[in-house]
Amino acid sequence: MAISIVFLSLGNVLTYFNTIQNDRRWFQNYNEPNSVLELHIEEPLVEKQKSWKADATVHRIINNGKSVAVKGKIILYFKKDTALQNITYGSTIFVQKPLQQIKGTGNPGAFDYSQYCLFKGITHQLYINTNEFQLLPSKKANALTQFLFTTRDRVLAIIRKYIPGEKEQGLAEALLIGYKDDLDKNLVQSYSNTGVVHIIAISGLHLGLIYGLLLMLLKPLQKNSRLNLLRVIIIIAGLWLFSLLAGAQPSVLRSALMFSIIAIGESLSRKTNIYNSLALSAFLLLCYNPFWLWDVGFQLSYAAVVSIIVFMKPVYHLFYIQNKIIDTIWKLNAVTLAAQILTIPFILYHFHQFPVYFLFTNLIAVPLSSIILIGEIILCIVAFIPFVAHLLGQLLSWLIFAMNFIVEKTEQLPYSLLQGFQLTIVQTVLIFIFIVFVALWLMKKKNYAISISLAALLSFSVLRSLSFIKAENQSKIIIYSVPQKTAIDLIDGRYYTFLGDSSVLNDASLVNFHLTPSRVLHRISPIQPGQTYPDKYIQFHKKHILIIDKNTRPEKAGAKEKIDILILSRNPRFYITSLAEIAEIKQVVIDSSVPAWKALLWQKDCNSLNIPCHNVNTEGAFVMNL
């Protein structure tokens, strides 16, 4: 107990000191409206639709001629311009412009982007025009980081030169070095919906292949004791170089640590305990960055490995197959099934969906992606021979096309994806308890385990039933935060009616990111799918709602005695004061389609009239329980 308390305290201390706001040198403690910021670019610029993006470190803040060394990171967005060609990794710029705090959308159930950035030490962002910064001629670049970026650019250049096809190039880049900026969004969704998205994310599968290749190539050095030490050093260096080149994600570092420990243990002629290797790698990673504990990839990675270790043999031994080919196929399926046992609760909790055909897609995609990965490594080696590189690149393009084709066609099969799962943390924990004790009962024949597992299942069923009963009786109005769009859901029980721009419904990415999480959270389905509400004046559960946009004349609302919610959309030309004279306004909501300058004017009018005003752009989604 004492040791557990010590380590728990250590974890709390590490978390406190890794939170940038708790650092006395955090730049925001010294930042003033007229401060000059010295920023160091920490990565090559990434092209977005309307800007260039890069992470930057704030090194100094200058106030009234006094310079203060500070710490912290921000996200920079540069307006697209040819003058940015001189800005690369290591560049230093001076900026005198107010920073914007990173905020999430505030939509119910939505991904918390601000917390995601905070865990990476990033708290603010800044949009910069061409004439709003000063570039210094000198650069401050770390030699190792510069080497990794240079190597990455060379690998990307080889892939783009010899592998034809934009979708094929994007997947090849992600598969080899984890570069995801060129990935097709629809393709990523297809891989996610079919249960093989782990192929795109650099993980233990990739490190295992690299480790196996290094073992095979360096096997001649194993016979000599002195050369064997060199062999281990080369293997560990190769693993970590690949990990850093792939972006040093938690899942990659976990695998690199585990294989490094295995390599060291083998060189000492000792068999390492896989549980100890996993525990040590997790401990070291969390000591370096305790926020990785909340990283979905970290959770899924460890859950999958532990699940394979515990359940692979019992699942494999369910059937005895004499034919070696069929037995090999079953073994691959057994590994996939075993990995799913402990990852299913995480998938349901985080992604609210389950891919039905994951066995089929994994059976094809895993070996095929392994062949493609090895082929890409060979392509980088033989790139100096153009003829051979072109042939190999064309072959890899065909293989990637075939894999993409199979994944996309599988996604289109009926019932390929079960969606709409909404679990609380307590429900997720109860699922884990059920799985663990059922496994204990089956594998260790512990009779008490079945009682605990059934109790957990009963508790889960009760909590889930109560959540459905609560959903049946809910009535809400939600005005979403969707950039430059109007999006409203009127929720009655487990159904909703959508009001707003039809362009929102026609954009799958907007619906999936902004609206779907809330609808899954509230367990609701559409009354009239794909249709918008035609009227501007709505009566819903005794609440009077008036939507005023640029096409609506305020005079039409004059006959209304009471307006419970006045929704201002687009850029209507009227004054709230004139409307307040002829109607009683209980609440004003400014949606995301309103320009910022107009929203500010309306907020001032509401404050002068003592009318509650909610600006969706700055305060997040507006939710009213009826």
Q: Report residue 465 as tokens.
A: 């039933």
Tell me the average pLDDT across 193-210: 73
Residues with Cβ within 8 Å of 516's Cβ and at least 6 positions away in sequence, in order, are none
The residue ranges of every structural domain in the chain are 19-141, 147-351+358-418, 425-471, 476-625
CA distances from 191 to 184, 194, 268, 420, 444 (A): 11, 5, 41, 18, 37
| Cα distance from N-terminal residue to C-terminal residue, the chain | 48
Tell me the average pLDDT across 532-548: 76
What is the tens place of the pLDDT at every residue in 297-333? 788 878 888 888 888 888 888 888 888 888 877 887 7
CA distances from 284 to 276, 300, 547 (A): 12, 18, 55
What is the tens place of the pLDDT at every residue in 347-372? 889 888 888 888 788 888 878 888 88
What is the tens place of the pLDDT at every residue in 572-603? 777 777 777 777 888 999 998 888 888 888 88
Whether the pLDDT of residue 280 is over 90: the answer is no
295 within 8 A of 424, measured Cβ to Cβ = no
H-run or E-run covering 152: helix 143-162
Between 118 and 363, name the one with better pLDDT.
118
The percentage of residues in the chain with a pLDDT greater than 90, rounded to a whole number, is 26
The whole-model pTM stands at 0.81
Burial 110-146 (b: 16+ CB within 10 A, else e): beeebeebbbebbbbbbebeeeebeeeeeeebeeeee
**19-141, CATH topology level:** OB fold (Dihydrolipoamide Acetyltransferase, E2P) (2.40.50)
pLDDT grade for 452, boundaries at 50, 70 and 90: very high
H-run or E-run covering 203: none
Q: Is residue 572 classed as helix, strand or coil in its secondary structure?
A: coil
Number of Cβ atoms within 10 Å of the Cβ of 544: 19
Q: What dotted CATH number matches 476-625?
A: 3.60.15.10
Between 262 and 55, name the one with better pLDDT.
55
Burial class (CB in 10 A: 0-12, 13-18, 19+), 183: middle
Minimal CA–CA distance to 316: which of 297, 306, 329, 298? 329
What's residue 298's pLDDT? Answer: 82
HEC profile for 453-487? HHHHHHHHHHHHHHHHHHHHCCEEEEECCCCCCCE
What's residue 614's pLDDT? Answer: 92
Residues with Cβ within 8 Å of 141's Cβ and at least 6 positions away in sequence, in order, are 89, 90
624 within 8 A of 477, measured Cβ to Cβ = yes
CA gap 68, 36 in Å, rounded: 11
Q: Is residue 566 classed as helix, strand or coil in its secondary structure?
A: strand
H-run or E-run covering 417: strand 417-419
| Average per-residue pLDDT for the chain | 84
